[in-house]
Structure 1
Amino acid sequence: MPLAISLIAPSSVTDDDAVARGIQGLESLGITVSLPRPLQRPTRYLAGSREWRLAQLHAAYDDPKTQAVWAIRGGYGAAQLLDGVDWACLSAHPKPLVGYSDVTVLLDHWHRHGLPALHGPVVKAAAGLLDASPAEREVLTRQFEETLALIEGEVALTYPLSPWGEAPATLSGPLAGGNLTTLASLAGTPAAFVAPQGALVILEDVGEPWYRLERALWQLVQGGALDRAAAVCLGTFEGCPPWGDARLEAILLETLAPLGIPLYHGLPVGHGLHNRPWRYGAIGHITPGRLAVAG
């Protein structure tokens, strides 16, 4: 029986043609797509009013015909939904939520409430399954197939990962994190991110100058968000303008220095072509040159 998924638009508005092409991409993998009509009721730069987006979210979890809920994109707005989420409704049908970027805030809170959460490509990215070059389609196909496998069950995956500076050769802990700027924006709010005990905190970002990335990480460090973390693991930082000959890793390691947290880099996770999925809360095992996540 083909996998069926419910689409939601929890954050920014998206061009209708881009959404349609993304849906076609998912359907090319044999996925049955269920979406409300209309999917979006644009309000400013948002996909709809807060009330509209919440109603859409709850309806997606109420749909007995679908096995996952998938965000069409990130952007801005997901944090506005948290204090209106009916957790009992979601827990009655505990489907995985899939997305990243602005959806980071939802993934974190889904996991806190014992709900499955997958940090992975958004629906909009599935357009590349049809439109990208053959080499890029190969990469995207693998990533979406890994995402489907995670939706359908626990799957063991391995990712490249290397230490930056002095770091333990082996380390284990639950996976957490997501978009750095989004996590920093929650500091001081009831939704603030706090890394679980011993967590391997994965961070990625897009389009931010390095001083903003340093500022965001500094905010997490000084706010206590990383006090219980075991390590920070960097994904990609797409379109983030460099600063002279400096290395971003060196800047971020200096920022982490007050906590003495080791830094790793090289994860194929983020806003670029390489955005492999990972299950929020899954136990990751760092060994030389890789991060293995058990099924």
Structure 2
Amino acid sequence: MIKQPPYLKKGDKIGLVCPAKKLPKSIDTAIAVLESWGLEVVIGKSVYASHHQFAGTDELRTRDIQQFLDDTSIRAIISGRGGYGSIRIIDELDFTVFKQHPKWFVGFSDITVILSHIIAQTQTQCLHAQMPYTFEESTPSAIESLRASLFGEPQEYSYTSTFKSRAGVAEGILIGGNLTLLVTMQGSVSEMDFDNKILFLEDVGEQEYAIDRMMRMLKRAGKLAKLKGLIIGAFNEIAEEKISFGQTAEEVIWDVVNEYDYPVCFNFPTGHIENNLSMALGANVALTVENKNVHFKYL
């Protein structure tokens, strides 16, 4: 059973950290948004720290996150941004107190490392969602989906895909995140269990051949055969190759999973996009795909 942390309420304290890359700009606007929700924002030392491309040294970032993991007055931890660096510190973090006093951990992209570890090692729900670094470019609906997720308000998402889908209905536990990072977690203690789950994937800045390689790695490892459903989010900023690969990212993924019979949808609003809607990893969800119409809701 995957535990659900207590939802937030006005007056709660939340911690702001940067587990990976340093912030190149102010996030005061995002902090003001969080405060407008009635939350007290406690800013970690990593938020303003700098060590080469990282938000402080590995040791500083580890201490910063650990402080908030252990502080039971902090009801959620939000990552300021992604980038690269979470894998350098994940094995130094101690989740003993976190297991006893679960709280929401929020982020996406490189933060998939921490989210995957939390699911694998603590069986606690966490949020793949917009981060303060991306608030200013975000759609209002993406920011609202984060607020609603944190405060426990019911949510349903519906949209029409522009790419072919495989019709079907599925209910199950939601897992997923950034494809590159999920592949990186394979074979480690941070690897999520894919069996009988609804999986969502997104990525940015990868070429088609790399997406093909990673998807086929997951397939060969038996990670795709026993899914209940597959949700494909944004695969954007794909660099053009000198010699065309001959398939789009969507066509690559479709080829890899075409033999299975579970529902598959594309163009889901999650990932490195303005309308990056919150996805609660570990939550029980329902996915309905009919032609190109997709409906997703939390149960």
Category of TM-score, reference length = shorter chain: 0.7 to 0.9
2:151 is equivalent to residue 177 of structure 1 = no
Q: How does 1:220-259 map to 2 (within 5 A)?
A: 220-241=218-239, 243=244, 246-257=247-258
Q: Which amino acid aligns with 1:61?
A: L
Tell me the distance in 2 between the aligned counterparts of 1:157 and 1:73.
Answer: 26
Tell me the distance in 2 between the aligned counterparts of 1:29 and 1:153.
Answer: 13
User: For 1:148, what is the secondary structure of its paired residue?
Assistant: helix
User: How far has the Cα of 1:283 moved from its partner?
Assistant: 2.0
Q: Which amino acid aligns with 1:232?
A: L
2:82 is equivalent to residue 74 of structure 1 = yes
User: How far has the Cα of 1:107 moved from its partner?
Assistant: 1.2
Partner of 2:5: none
Partner of 1:284: 285
Q: Which runs of 5+ in 2 are unaligned?
A: 1-9
Q: Which amino acid aligns with 1:22?
A: A
Partner of 1:160: 159
Tell me the distance in 2 between the aligned counterparts of 1:177 and 1:38.
Answer: 26
Per-residue deviation, residues 94-131 of structure 1 (Å, max 9, x unmatched): 11001111111211221231223011001111234xxx
Conserved? CA contact 1:7–1:35, under 8 Å:
yes
Tell me the distance in 2 between the aligned counterparts of 1:226 and 1:246.
Answer: 20
User: How far has the Cα of 1:31 moved from its partner?
Assistant: 3.7
Tell me the distance in 1 between the aligned counterparts of 2:149 and 2:116.
Answer: 17
Tell me the distance in 1 between the aligned counterparts of 2:86 and 2:262.
Answer: 29
Partner of 1:263: 264
- How high is the TM-score relative to the length of structure 2? 0.83
2:126 is equivalent to residue 125 of structure 1 = no
2:20 is equivalent to residue 11 of structure 1 = yes
Match of 1:96 among 94, 104, 112: 104
Distance 1:84 1:225, change over 3 A: farther
Conserved? CA contact 1:176–1:201, under 8 Å:
yes
Q: Which amino acid aligns with 2:127?
A: L
Tell me the distance in 2 between the aligned counterparts of 1:74 and 1:109.
Answer: 16
Q: CA RMSD in A?
A: 2.6
Tell me the distance in 2 between the aligned counterparts of 1:261 and 1:88.
Answer: 37
Q: Which amino acid aligns with 1:117?
A: C
Tell me the distance in 2 between the aligned counterparts of 1:64 and 1:192.
Answer: 26
Q: Percent identity?
A: 25
Partner of 1:294: 298
Tell me the distance in 2 between the aligned counterparts of 1:30 and 1:70.
Answer: 15
Q: Which runs of 5+ in 1 are unaligned?
A: 129-135
Tell me the distance in 2 between the aligned counterparts of 1:187 and 1:257.
Answer: 23
Partner of 2:211: 213
Conserved? CA contact 1:21–1:124, under 8 Å:
no
Partner of 1:36: 44
Conserved? CA contact 1:159–1:267, under 8 Å:
no
- How high is the TM-score relative to the length of structure 1? 0.84
What is the number of equivalent residue pairs in this alignment? Answer: 283
Conserved? CA contact 2:211–2:252, under 8 Å:
no
Per-residue deviation, residues 235-264 of structure 1 (Å, max 9, x unmatched): 111212465874432221212346666531
Tell me the distance in 2 between the aligned counterparts of 1:245 and 1:212.
Answer: 13
Tell me the distance in 2 between the aligned counterparts of 1:281 and 1:105.
Answer: 15
Distance 1:225 1:50, change over 3 A: farther
Partner of 2:65: 57
Partner of 1:199: 197
User: How far has the Cα of 1:271 moved from its partner?
Assistant: 0.4
User: For 2:89, what is the secondary structure of its paired residue?
Assistant: helix
Q: Which amino acid aligns with 1:116?
A: Q
Q: Which amino acid aligns with 1:203?
A: L
Q: Structure 1: which 4+ aligned runs deviate by more than 6 Å?
A: none
Tell me the distance in 2 between the aligned counterparts of 1:213 and 1:28.
Answer: 39
Partner of 1:275: 276
Per-residue deviation, residues 30-70 of structure 1 (Å, max 9, x unmatched): 44311124534433322223322221112113334432100
Conserved? CA contact 1:73–1:123, under 8 Å:
yes
